[in-house]
């Protein structure tokens, strides 16, 4: 597995221990203090050598008492419970790149003109259905494309009214 940032190295350590030994590790003493002092939603994304998505799971808002636990839970889920993929095998570990996106709090977006698919992620809601798309994704170059993908993920038709929220991420590799 590959990655350089401390947040990513933590996610890699978690995934490798879980895949190889089926163990959920405790937070080590050397973990950066920011991970212990911050609460935030976070996504962990896995990609193969040719940059093909291999797993991505996350939370919009914090669900754990700190970011270290948020990353740990989402890393395990991205590697084993993304419904689009089989669980990661030990043989695949050497070929996967990991990134961690830490989300800002979502804010309501009144005007579509405020959106920018390179800078902001989007959340669309209609009733109980909600779809999210992270920012700055390869091939997602327009606001319309970003909103359409988020709608599809949520099962929201193009003619249905939606609430739109935007958020920013800090992406770590």
Please report, for the chain, the start and end positions of each structural domain, with discontinuous segments joined by +: 6-103, 107-168
Would you say 130 and 166 are in contact if contact means Cβ atoms under 8 Å apart?
A: no
Proportion of the chain above pLDDT 90, given as a percent: 95
**What would the pLDDT profile of 58-102 be if each residue is shown by its tens digit?**
999 999 999 999 999 999 999 999 999 999 999 999 999 999 999
Q: Residues near 89 by Cβ (< 8 Å), separated by ≥ 6? A: 19
Overall residue count recorded for the chain in this entry: 173
Mean of pLDDT values over 160-164: 97
CATH number, domain 107-168: 3.30.1490.150
Tens of pLDDT, residues 120-134 = 999 999 999 999 999
Average pLDDT over residues 93-118: 96
Name the average pLDDT for the chain. 96
CATH code: domain 6-103 is 3.30.700.20
**For residue 30, what pLDDT is reported?**
93
For the record, the structure tokens of 125 come out as: 């809601």
Q: Is 1 exposed, middle or buried (0-12, 13-18, 19+ CB in 10 A)?
A: buried
* Cut 0.85: pTM above it: yes
Averaged pLDDT for residues 106-121: 95
């Amino acid at each position: 597995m590959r990655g350089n940032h401390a947040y990513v190295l933590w996610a890699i350590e978690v995934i490798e221990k879980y895949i190889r030994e089926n163990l959920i590790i405790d937070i080590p003493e050397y973990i950066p203090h920011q991970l212990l002092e911050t609460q935030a939603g976070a996504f962990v994304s896995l990609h193969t050598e040719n940059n093909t998505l291999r797993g991505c799971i996350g939370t919009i808002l914090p669900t754990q008492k700190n970011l270290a636990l948020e990353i740990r839970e989402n890393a395990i889920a991205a590697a084993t419970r993304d419904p689009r993929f089989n669980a990661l095998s030990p043989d695949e570990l050497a070929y996967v790149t990991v990134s961690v996106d830490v989300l800002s709090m979502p804010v309501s977006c009144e005007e579509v003109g405020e959106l920018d698919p390179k800078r902001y992620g989007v959340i669309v809601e209609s009733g109980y259905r909600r779809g999210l798309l992270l920012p700055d994704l390869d091939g997602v170059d327009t606001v319309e494309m970003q909103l359409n993908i988020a709608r599809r993920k949520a099962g929201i038709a193009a003619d249905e009214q939606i609430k739109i929220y935007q958020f920013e991420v800090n992406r770590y590799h």
